[in-house]
Copies of this chain bind each other. A is one copy, B any other.
Amino acid sequence: MRLIGIALAATAVALASPASAQVAARWITLGTQGGPIPLKSRSQPANVLLTGDGAFVVDAGDGVVEQLAKAEVSLQEVKAVLLSHLHFDHTAGLFGILSLRWQTNIASPLAVYGPPGTRTLVDGILAAMAPAVRAGYAYPGEFKAPFEPGVTVVEIRDGASFDLGSTHVTAAKNTHYTFTPGSADDRAFESLAFRFDGPGRSIAYTGDTGPSQAVERLARGADLLVTEMIDFDRTVAEIHRVSPNMPVAAMTGITIHLRDHHLTPKQVGELARVAGVKSVVVTHLSAPAITEARASEYLREIGAAYPGPAVIANDLETF
């Protein structure tokens, strides 16, 4: 289902049909909003990487299970979930993945990769599931197997690398979190970008980030850069409009966060140019009301720094 009809189909098809399409991984943008305020036009941040080895969910915003169904990817196919960071617009759908797996009798293993904090997140979800697991389908004589959700948590940090079948994954710490250097929180938490090197194709995913040399290095030469983007001025104006009475301290904090922890179109172009990627897909759009004209404006700003092909993604597009 196309939620906003930005007319960039020709470019999107070109990206979606590389010469190696028969073997190369496909990337589906399940939700292209930059959260966390729910929108009717775009779903919360989520993606799925499809390879010959299965489906790998990359960030899992609210409704990811429904978006997977719309993309015709079954929960049975999902072998792993990768979380870039802990903000709930990227994790709120994990409860649905874990709980509906159990309720639909999916016993195959699921790996959840994510930054520090992911184990507590998953443990809390499993604890929340306990009463319903015990109640089961609730008919006399029901056989209740021990609760084995089949979930393995792997907490990862900057520099982590691991394989998802024939796809090699590398993680790098980006700049979405900028705690006071050396503070307890700075030591405890990380926000990550990922790179997927599979047969025939390399895809770099920024996660949420501000400008970051680590992300530039991670994305170097990738066939596809999947990047976040913010329309800073319009997003700040929208927050003022929606929350006119927000305390000044809170508004200041959000403004700092939006300014330092996200990429403007110009910064997206600079990242793509410096990294030398072959194509760009823009998702996690922190911007109100993205019309066709507005999307063209963003692409012009990106194009001023980066000469390669770039598209503004919609929900449920394949690249």
Select from chain B the residue with minimum beta-carbon distance to A145. B250
A68 proximal to B (CB < 8 A) = yes
Select from chain B the residue with minimum beta-carbon distance to A141. B180
Please, how many angstroms separate the alpha-carbon atoms of A260 and B137 in the complex? 11
**A63-B65, A138-B178, A261-B139 known; A132+B87 contact, CB < 8 A:** yes
* B93→A88 contact, CB < 8 A: no
* A121→B126 contact, CB < 8 A: no
Cβ–Cβ < 8 Å partners of A135 in chain B: 85-86, 117, 177, 185, 188-189
Please, how many angstroms separate the alpha-carbon atoms of A64 and B37 in the complex? 13
* A142→B38 contact, CB < 8 A: no
Q: How many copies does the complex hold?
A: 2
Please, how many angstroms separate the alpha-carbon atoms of A18 and B123 in the complex? 48
Which of A102-110, A163-171, A217-225, A303-311 makes up part of the contact surface? A102-110
Q: How far is the CB of A59 from chain B (nearest CB, A)?
A: 13
Partner of A92, one of B95, B143, B177: B95
Which of A39-47, A274-282, A284-292 makes up part of the contact surface? A39-47
A254 proximal to B (CB < 8 A) = yes
Q: Which residues from 89 to 121 on chain A have a C-beta closer than 8 Å to any C-beta of chain B? A: 89, 91-96, 99-100, 102-105, 116-118, 120-121
Please, how many angstroms separate the alpha-carbon atoms of A180 and B140 in the complex? 5
Q: How far is the CB of A97 from chain B (nearest CB, A)?
A: 9
Q: How far is the CB of A196 from chain B (nearest CB, A)?
A: 24
* A100→B38 contact, CB < 8 A: yes
Cβ–Cβ < 8 Å partners of A92 in chain B: 65, 95-96, 99-100
Cβ–Cβ < 8 Å partners of A159 in chain B: none
**Cross-chain pairs A/B with CB under 8 angstroms, 20 sampled:** A38-B65, A44-B96, A62-B100, A63-B66, A63-B93, A88-B96, A91-B99, A116-B131, A117-B134, A120-B131, A121-B131, A122-B128, A124-B127, A127-B128, A134-B189, A137-B254, A137-B257, A138-B189, A138-B191, A139-B178
A residues whose Cβ falls under 8 Å from a Cβ of B:
1, 35-40, 43-44, 62-70, 72, 75, 85-89, 91-96, 99-100, 102-105, 116-118, 120-132, 134-135, 137-143, 176-180, 185, 188-189, 191, 243, 246, 249-250, 253-254, 256-257, 260-261
